[in-house]
Structure 1
């Protein structure tokens, strides 16, 4: 009998190596063949379209404030608010797209539909520059007043891109992560590297967007840049679709919010029952009921919700086969509810970092406009300075992946090197330093500008700046280094720590940190401007143009906010409990130094 059981287990392990059994399906709806689907051969198709999307987004976003001030003739404060509003909507829309993908359509369908909407937005931008009746002016030269029809089409195109991003961003990254099996030791390690290389490709798209695309916008034409983005997006959509035979898909499981609501209702209904003394008295559905669903271990946090899994007399007899989900929840459902609630403090403490990120595409760019950008006879586009943030992020991601992780894995025994929240917290330190450096640089720029006005004997509007734009390099690079830790860490955190049924929504929650940061930045600008005008005799920190503003003080305010937030984050992170999964397979380290899978 023992020999038969061993043979059966060996067959199951061999079968598990051949087929993927993590609730994924192949294109035809069957079990995916491990050798023919997923992993890097599938992820490369997915990363390609992400590269194109980031090329388009940053090619537009980083120079948007220049377009609004130079072409549509908005003042600095209005333009900054419009950029923040658009950025905020663009990064909040994924909450809707992620929910629809998890609940009803699946990730692949949403990616295709949203990519086509994105392409439509880029096409509208292109038409607004080439069709005579939609162009900003009648003639080829700039005009003092832009046509209303151009503004309507322009903002319609921008918000089509927002809608496209709403489905594109939450699903694409999680769809790529779905190509790796968490129950397979080797694929699980590759998945940890996936998030780093995903962001490497993202930064490459960003780098080209803020250099080549911005150069075309500033020195060739906005229409040419929009045409390049439109064609690139069309090609990468076709490329992504061509890889559909090697993808692993996840079927939608219905609304991921319903089980959470059921836990809340069941806990309230049983609120008068005594608190369970141990997890043995709590109900868990048998593994055979959902063989591909990962079960979670019970934890002692937020114990009120444990009452939702308490068995009553009539429920014990049912043996879990038929029960009212609004009166009885499983331990896994209860733990998923706890996971979501424990994410709220992490999300809130990440928002100040999102405010700092918002400055890079607004005020940092305008600082570049007011500085000397010439290298010989060539003038660097102001928005291209954003490339330095991408360089910082590429550097930090590469060093972390290739140097730090191998060393930290050996020293800590952690598969990730350091845990996710430690990585995020380390990046938050960079935000404080970046805002402090930005404040010092802006104070120097203002002093230099005043000296230039006096030395050149010109008016404030015509004085030539003498301070080099490369003074902005430290603040961009430091913020980029922080992005490599905090933003990548947040992506992995919100994918890994959410319930398995809401991973698209998890990536959307990560993006909402950036969107929330943009909205808070706009709100903070309004409050600061209002308060400082009242206390400063009519002169606020954020004026109509950069030289009449006092952005150095605004940056110091952000540095103080982020420093205080760092202290709160550390307190929250130290008390955090990670998702505790009942794995089907675990990694066993033998004396020969090799990793092997064994049944848990």
Structure 2
């Protein structure tokens, strides 16, 4: 099935005939990158400073605001899976992106209205007092509607854009290059969000910050739509998940059937009589699933079409299901990589609140902006990695690093980031808990090394993951493959929330005032989780066999390259 996935992907693309020429290629990149940047700026306008917005504008307690933000982060990371299924199955990526951009715009407009019209939010708390006007049910309804619309819009655009962008290229090396620049566009736009827009919201006004988001959303949507005549459009072919479900059902119904070794006993034709030329014979791995494609009397009509779709599948459908089974262990390692990163991000903001955040006599860094160091580090690293490191690696070894090698290096750097965080927090706590009375809070700049390490790690493992999934997933699930990244991040957010809750329940490490706790122990716990997970990753990577002979860097892979 080495060449089947790529050829099937090329065949599934439609080239409109109005211009008469070939579409796709790098001419589409400015439009897609512009859309990514604009929509990422729009997302940052409401997401980057959400905790502060909830506390200041809706009088929500800090812990509750943090929980709401974690839920929102998790939700918009799960939504891309739904969007990708809709894109793959029914409407294609272009329509899903366009509609989702409009939904995102509605959410931002609603956010702007909440801070512009006084009746849509409660009155601010009395200065120096805990007396606050409660938020009404109507105000909560409008707030949650804005959050839902903005989350759906962000979830439906960000990673579907990655799939549509990759679909513009036939060469795996071009696809890998696109993924690197795609993440660079997101990181750069996010840096602007966490600095410029957050500063505007904190110092000029919320309506101005949200207004910038509305304008950025409009510009991103306009840029994306203006490239219509250059795009290759993916062709939806019905839900691929129906075929995968049929494999499970057919295997169960034929569980007592003796497996045949003759290729003639298997079904190679789909419901419309199309032949799966990519698969010559069922593979021997997960051999019990081959029963789903094995023909018995009554399965096939005289004209060769399938008579009982839920009793027999094509060999291609069985092999697609096997591909998903093979990739799941590797994908699960990414969950336990994202969980410590999400936990570190939350704790770093709490640390920053209790540190000296002044840069000079007049400027004070907003606590939520410390995360921008990870984004800046990731953006710079992406440029250096693809522009310098990979070419040097290729000259020394004769090939680009494989996706698995990139992901593995990202694991190592993330663990080093957690270890750095533990050391810094131990030092910070010693200063904060000094009873001499003349202790000066540690400067927030001490948080930067851990953020830099995590950012460099993300520059390796996120593009490596998305390249691996796009390369390895069946052609019918290309949009779903890129949605696996936000799904990992979303699960990581929820698991990190549960992890911190467990720590609070059973230890005294994380009290309300972290200066009185032992957050450094939490970081060391994250280091242990990261090391164990890296060992698990090495086992999974060693056992994984690439399904495509050509890796996303355009060079052949062998098992030894992992």
Question: TM-score under structure 1 normalisation?
Answer: 0.83
Residue equivalent to 2:120: 134
CA distance in 1, matches of 2:496, 2:20: 45
Structure 2 unaligned segments of length 5 or more: list them.
Answer: 1-8, 557-562
CA distance in 1, matches of 2:140, 2:436: 35
CA distance in 2, matches of 1:142, 1:125: 27
**Cα deviation digits, residues 165-223 of structure 1 (max 9, x gap):** 23213321111111112xxxxx3321111101111111111111111111112222222
Residue equivalent to 1:531: 506
In the TM superposition, 1:185-584 aligns within 5 A as 187-277=171-261, 282-285=266-269, 290=274, 298-312=282-296, 320-359=304-343, 361-376=345-360, 377-410=362-395, 412=397, 414=399, 417-451=400-434, 454-455=437-438, 466-532=441-507, 540-580=508-548
Secondary structure at the counterpart of residue 451 of structure 1:
coil
Q: CA deviation at 1:141?
A: 7.9
Residue equivalent to 2:50: 64
The number of residue pairs the alignment matches comes to 542
Quick one: which of 135, 150, 159 aligns to 1:148?
135
Q: 1:139/1:87 Cα in 2 relative to 1: closer, same or farther (>3 Å)?
A: closer
Q: 1:291/1:209 Cα in 2 relative to 1: closer, same or farther (>3 Å)?
A: farther
Quick one: which of 175, 178, 189 aligns to 2:167?
178
Q: CA deviation at 1:259?
A: 0.8
- State yes or no: 1:159 paired with 2:148: yes
Secondary structure at the counterpart of residue 230 of structure 1:
helix
Asked if 2 retains the 8 angstrom alpha-carbon contact of 1:62 and 1:361, the reply is no
Asked if 1 retains the 8 angstrom alpha-carbon contact of 2:125 and 2:133, the reply is no
Asked if 1 retains the 8 angstrom alpha-carbon contact of 2:107 and 2:149, the reply is yes
Q: CA deviation at 1:545?
A: 3.3
Q: 1:155/1:550 Cα in 2 relative to 1: closer, same or farther (>3 Å)?
A: farther
Secondary structure at the counterpart of residue 454 of structure 1:
coil
Q: CA RMSD in A?
A: 3.1
Question: TM-score under structure 2 normalisation?
Answer: 0.88
Quick one: which of 21, 24, 41 aligns to 1:33?
21
Asked if 2 retains the 8 angstrom alpha-carbon contact of 1:296 and 1:581, the reply is no
CA distance in 2, matches of 1:542, 1:57: 30
CA distance in 2, matches of 1:227, 1:134: 17
Asked if 2 retains the 8 angstrom alpha-carbon contact of 1:297 and 1:580, the reply is no
CA distance in 2, matches of 1:69, 1:563: 36
Residue equivalent to 1:78: 64
CA distance in 2, matches of 1:119, 1:294: 43
CA distance in 1, matches of 2:86, 2:197: 33
- State yes or no: 1:45 paired with 2:20: no
Q: CA deviation at 1:109?
A: 1.1
Residue equivalent to 1:8: none
Residue equivalent to 2:106: 120
Structure 1 unaligned segments of length 5 or more: list them.
Answer: 1-19, 182-186, 457-464, 533-539, 589-600
